[in-house]
Structure 1
């Protein structure tokens, strides 16, 4: 028995030493990777907004300007990069990285819906983006877009929600499901992992692992060390942002197109309980339908064979919706 305990103790010490060694190696690997990432040339340009710079990617010239607002994730403008390549260059399209994400400076402003809307407005003003604006917003981006529409309605020609988040989802979900879907990312664990090179491995293939997304899957993990803190700030402010956004209940007559994913298997990896999954599918369907009440000029487009990331699964639907809305704006 004593011999067994002795070997068990040795094994324990050996395991601790191995973990410590791996963390040390990971720490120095992370520092080297960060130095290399700082040398990566941005694919867009910068504009000063207050006391910080925002990075944006622009295609085309002329009006109107199609603006892309990103979901809650560290991909920034890259979420829309491929879609921008498919749009005509006869009008302008602009995607950007919110403060602190990818190449954008963090700045000092609090991560609130109001301040994020101001940042975007100043970006567009400073780069002389042709008006009016058409906003394309995915998931959490749809919640943020409410602030922009509420503050600058005269500049907006249309809005496209891409499987948008519902800010008052608590009204549609049972307490158990609401807690499950709003628990967020484990910030403490991921911040720790970010210091030792583990986080960049976890986010290595955020996009599909194919040629169309090679660039995305290279940039996101490389710059994750910069993006992760900003993402967690947005998570910390999520409840407050959603609460304020839920008070914005009307876009007036601004055209609103609601793109809704319909793949019933999209929650399989996230929700194991069949009853909860059934509830989630029904609630999401109801939330998406109720978005139509935001505008007196609204329509819903059901997107078959697509999960939450329609921009990856069915990008043509987004491109066609944008082009149709641009034609409506021009005529």
Structure 2
């Protein structure tokens, strides 16, 4: 029997956050973190085909989708605090498997650095994290998207501060399974594409068990263009995590 979806709003520090959650048979919950200025609706096509063994938790960050506005600074450190508070309010306990897109990887990256024992693995889709201090390195497609969505969620200064927060708190993630998926649908006009891929390659050093996949037919929105690759990545990370924690795996199967 499929688990029922629970759609609830929780108030954190005076801001109403819209969430959706379902339980899974394995005890592991996939926590989705969307890109900059993007609501949780972006994950709907992908979630439809995720196995019932996984729990799922999605939410709209402050100022996005069905969530309210927050007076707090829109930095990754604040957003990690809000995410942790929402998981607690919804009684969604670890272990978590984090799946994030673009700027969402900054949030989940910082979350993992602070709480790596709660997270069994990460799948990062065209992540905007690493040694990236400005948007001069970022492909034109993402630069335009960021500029368009900036007014929805924060400022360039807050984005830059989020990158600085992650760099300051960055720790090695040990054997946490980590898969980085990069967009492959680029053209000659993206002069910084090689630097963008180098940025993604540098992320692999954060874990002893990491891998890189190029989604050759995908734009920046890999989860829309090639969802089957994301599904496989999630399952690969899950299987790798299970091999590291055999007692947990045996207990839930």
TM-score by length of 1: 0.64
Partners of 1:321 and 1:260 in 2: CA distance: 12
1:149-171 deviations in whole A, cap 9, x for unaligned? 12211111001111101342259
Aligned to 1:82: 45
Normalized per residue, the structure richer in helix is 1
- Helix, strand or coil: the match of 2:30? strand
1:161-214 deviations in whole A, cap 9, x for unaligned? 11101342259x9xx657977685278xxxxxxxxxxxxxxxxxxxxxxxxxxx
Distance of aligned partners of 1:281 and 1:91 in 2 relative to their CA distance in 1, 3 Å threshold: same
Aligned to 1:65: 29
Partners of 2:230 and 2:148 in 1: CA distance: 32
Distance of aligned partners of 1:297 and 1:169 in 2 relative to their CA distance in 1, 3 Å threshold: same
Matched, 1:260 2:222: no
List runs of 5+ in structure 2 lacking aligned partners.
1-5, 243-248
Partners of 1:182 and 1:249 in 2: CA distance: 27
List runs of 5+ in structure 1 lacking aligned partners.
1-42, 188-227, 272-276
Normalized per residue, the structure richer in strand is 2
Partners of 1:155 and 1:234 in 2: CA distance: 30
Conserved 8 A contact 2:99-2:124: yes
Runs of 4+ off more than 6 Å: 178-181
How far the C-alpha of 1:321 sits from its partner, in A, is 1.3
Partners of 1:89 and 1:320 in 2: CA distance: 15
Distance of aligned partners of 1:169 and 1:107 in 2 relative to their CA distance in 1, 3 Å threshold: closer
How far the C-alpha of 1:301 sits from its partner, in A, is 1.6
Matched, 1:283 2:195: yes
Superposed, 1:73-222 pairs within 5 Å as 73=37, 75-170=38-133, 185=147
- Helix, strand or coil: the match of 1:153? coil
Alignment length (residue pairs): 234
Structure with larger Rg:
1
Given candidates 220, 225, 239, the residue that maps to 1:327 is 239
1:115-171 deviations in whole A, cap 9, x for unaligned? 100100111111111320111111111112221112211111001111101342259
Superposed, 1:288-299 pairs within 5 Å as 288-299=200-211
Partners of 1:186 and 1:306 in 2: CA distance: 21
Partners of 1:240 and 1:100 in 2: CA distance: 18
1:85-143 deviations in whole A, cap 9, x for unaligned? 11012221111100121111223321111110010011111111132011111111111
